[in-house]
Structure 1
Amino acid sequence: MPALRVLERVDLNGRTWVYAADDASGSTSLFSCLLVQVLPDEDQPDEGEGEYDEEDWEGEDAPVFDTRLHEAVMFGAPYEGGELVFLTVDGDGNPVVTRTRGPVRLPRRGPGPLAHAPNLDAIEEPAGAKPLPDDRVAEVAATLTPTGRPMRWGPGKAARAGGLAFTACAVVGTEFVTDTLLADGFGWHVLGFFGLFMLLNLAATLLNWRVTADSAGLWLTGAWKVRHVPWERLRGAAYTGEGTVEIRVRDQDTWELPGIGWPWAERRLGLRPPYKRLTDEINALHTRPELRPIEQSPPRNHGLPLGPVLAVLLALTVLLSFLG
């Protein structure tokens, strides 16, 4: 059986793209296939293997893939519909054996999608559909000009206006609940403080969320703290249908900016707010290391979590109500 050194990359939909060993930039794929890990005690394929179930790849339970280029050894001859075995390593450096699940697909000549591609990657989409994840990454990467300086993303004017409005509502609500507590004593109205905390969290996020990219990785500033994610631990970014920004990390952890967007309004108005641009550009930086900044950013540029500040503001409101 022939053996060949190659480079492979998994796209955001789980399909593996194979490149020549010297194509370090991943510019020209040789073919694509869907791979499944071979278990040590695997004697024969499971029933139904090779079949595609859309429910396995959609919604909150959809898997998250490491889309970086990495080395592998390919066993077998690649041809349309062929079967192959790959020897590679996982993120922890442990050896992994994978094999094709479904036929190999060779790219056709000229621009355009793969011929007769399965529905798994939603490659054959109707006219006017959004670009594929890999195509989107390439499209966004083409717009980025490497300068070496750190990159930053943060809220726009509309988000900050909404944050101020929520802050005002939280202050007024805190004063009302406190006055009710002083007048009527403890009761069900005390639960209003829990709702005010959620309002406070959203206000702090809208006012001053920030993501900074530098040579060391990403600095993620949410409502309560600043988190650092090195480039080697980053797995990608996504904007969910619930309006939440997710930065996915290798240890299966996820950093979130919950509820900062309105996807339905953005689709109808054709808007591209900063948090959508953030996910696109983070994915481009993740898969194209040559675009990443080469300078470090000072701590003062990482942003200030406003959650503690607003919590002190509400505490002063409660104190003034008691003193008044």
Structure 2
Amino acid sequence: MSTHSAEVLRLPDGAIPGGCRSWEAEQTGRWTRGLPPRWVPVRARTSVFVALQPVAVAGAGLLHRFGGLPAWAAALIALHLVWLVLRPEAALVLVPFAAAAALTTGDLAWPVRLGLSAALVGVWTVVGVRLTARRRQRAAGLEAAGGVTAEVPLASGAMGARMERGTFLLWSGLVTVVGGGVLYVTADLWDLAEDRQVVPAAGWCLAGLGLTVLYSAALARRRAAGLRRAPVPVLRVLVRENHEVETEVFAADDVAALRPLFTVSTTEVEGHTAGDTDVDEGAAEADEDVRELISRIDDERAGPLREAVLYGAPYDGAEVVLLAAADKAGEPPVVEVSVGPVRPVTAVAFRRRARAERGRALREARQERLRGAAAAVVVAERTGLEAAPVEVRRWRAGWADWFAVGLVLLFLAYYWEGSSGWSTYALALGALLLAASLLPRRLAWQVTADREGLWFNGLGGARHLAWDHVRAVECEGVRLRIQSRQASFEEWRVASPRWPRLETRFGLLHPYERTAAEITAMWRDPAARPAGLADERQRGRALWPIGIVIVVAIGVMGAAMTLFLP
């Protein structure tokens, strides 16, 4: 199948190594079939990645306090939650030691000991399956390359300056190890007895996380350096940058970008593109590129599909280099080096992505219908077909915003009930200051539209945004956002909880969707805009008095709870 398409930005013929094969559907099918089963965690969501660390630290503390395990043993066992997903190489080596610690240390009952040991054996099995699948993926990639190898571009030039791969991980790991050590050493200084029982294991676990990051840094640097020691396998592929600023890699004949094979975070090697460019012109182009990138992220759009040469055998956790066509026609190719490991797109992740795209398409279609209906209404109001022309339109905070604030206050009240100590009071003071700055807008935000633009109330007063300076009006997820083209007014946003499935099932319309539809209709069609100008009262008053009332009210309630509740 020919891969030439007008929609794909192509590499110059001279940039492609001689004999380089196209990695097409037949070969990529063998590669994807080599992925581990669906029950093996290969591609963790960002939320899982963030949650694993505190869960492991908390688990270590609980095993130490209630299970009587030594602090080091509790941390060693809990860290396998992280290694199972993020660092299977460490789990493969350390599971036997963790199982021995679970069986021989602490005051755990034998059923619990056996349960922990069985869970660790399960972890060992899972990571073994995953690492075996890696070897299959690497073999499939080498077979597809057919023995064709090439030197990584710029191996002795700008590429050599990229030897700092893993430097950020190195410093992050060192800081985390030191933090864990400090936490362990200062365990006896904590106020409460239960804290002193939990903190040593938490310190060990934090230090273990730091050592894990250091190991990841060393492994990434070794794999990246391996690409420059000798010629490596090369394959022709297609790539594009998704809205999460990751590079997606596709088969060379997948010109419709239907099935990504894997994603990898990359950065462009500076100084590779040819030609001299004026400094001011280069700075202007860089600013324009940044604005385009931000716009694409906000709109959840992918970048253009580009032809590329992949250097290095692709597999789960690998480091690679890409020589890719520039994202603008007529510009020289660019070299992109990985700053993160290859992450295969599993069948589960692919189906999840497809569902998300279908949901996004349905939301966009629904919002377009809303905008059309809103445009008809506001045009009728503006032209006086139904009633007198509307001079000014306003949208205010409603039940959704008040409900969100109520949830936050309930959570804070539950958290601080019965708490004491200087740390609690310091947190309470910080929460009061945060509440004074954020809650007034959540409770009493107002957007006013007149014939010249939009007015937004705030703590110090109202701000104005002309219609010509509006860049986008969006209701995406829990957010209502209005973006500006002005450097001094980047965007205005509010957020509230939503339940999209319930809204769809019962035909409910969230207030934010109606507001976004009506403002968009006015922005796009000058005939739909109000006829008059908003006076000072209509623009919205300053919200700082509400902030003072909130601080006083929360302070009084907190004092009452401290004095009168047991």
TM-score by length of 2: 0.31
Residue matched to 1:141? 375
Segments of 5+ residues of structure 2 without an aligned counterpart are 1-6, 13-237, 247-292, 300-327, 330-357, 383-388
Amino acid at match of 2:509: R
Residue matched to 2:456? 220
> What is the deviation of 1:292?
0.6
Query: Is the deviation greater in 296-305 or in 192-201?
Result: 192-201
Q: Is the 8 A contact 1:140 1:280 kept in 2?
A: yes
Amino acid at match of 1:248: Q
Amino acid at match of 1:297: A
The secondary structure found in structure 2 opposite 1:300 is coil
1:245 to 460, 480, 499: 480
1:134-283 aligned within 5 A: 137-144=371-378, 145=380, 146=382, 147-160=389-402, 163=405, 180=420, 184=421, 186-187=422-423, 189-201=425-437, 203-222=439-458, 225-241=461-477, 243-251=478-486, 253-264=489-500, 266-267=503-504, 269-283=506-520
> What is the deviation of 1:127?
11
Seen in structure 2, the aligned counterparts of structure 1 residues 222 and 237 have a Cα distance that, compared at 3 Å, is: farther
> What is the deviation of 1:218?
0.4
Residue matched to 1:92? none
Distance in 2 (alpha carbons) for counterparts of 1:231 and 1:126: 27
Q: Is the 8 A contact 1:164 1:207 kept in 2?
A: no
> What is the deviation of 1:187?
3.0
Query: Is the deviation greater in 133-142 or in 222-231?
Result: 133-142
The secondary structure found in structure 2 opposite 1:297 is coil
2:527 to 283, 290, 304: 290
Query: Alpha-carbon deviations, 1:24-55, whole Å to 9, x = none?
Result: xxxxxxxxxxx9xxxxxxxxx96469x99472
Q: Is the 8 A contact 1:224 1:308 kept in 2?
A: no
Q: Is the 8 A contact 1:163 1:203 kept in 2?
A: yes
Q: Is the 8 A contact 1:236 1:249 kept in 2?
A: yes
> What is the deviation of 1:245?
1.4
Residue matched to 1:55? 242
Count the aligned residue pairs: 218
Structure number with greater CO (CA < 8 Å, separation at least 6) is 1
Distance in 1 (alpha carbons) for counterparts of 2:475 and 2:443: 19
Query: Alpha-carbon deviations, 1:174-215, whole Å to 9, x = none?
Result: 9979x94xxx4x335412333344445553233211111012
> What is the deviation of 1:228?
1.0
> What is the deviation of 1:318?
4.5
The structure with more helix, counted as a fraction of residues: 2
Distance in 2 (alpha carbons) for counterparts of 1:152 and 1:311: 25
Amino acid at match of 1:207: L
Seen in structure 2, the aligned counterparts of structure 1 residues 132 and 155 have a Cα distance that, compared at 3 Å, is: closer
Distance in 2 (alpha carbons) for counterparts of 1:250 and 1:294: 24
Distance in 2 (alpha carbons) for counterparts of 1:57 and 1:135: 28
Residue matched to 1:119? none
Segments of 5+ residues of structure 1 without an aligned counterpart are 1-34, 36-44, 66-99, 102-123
Computing the radius of gyration from Cα coordinates, the structure with the larger value is: 2
1:303-314 aligned within 5 A: 303-314=540-551
> What is the deviation of 1:237?
0.8
Amino acid at match of 1:254: E
Distance in 2 (alpha carbons) for counterparts of 1:131 and 1:261: 22
The secondary structure found in structure 1 opposite 2:242 is helix
Distance in 1 (alpha carbons) for counterparts of 2:550 and 2:359: 51
Query: Alpha-carbon deviations, 1:111-166, whole Å to 9, x = none?
Result: xxxxxxxxxxxxx9999775276665434312322124111111224534554675
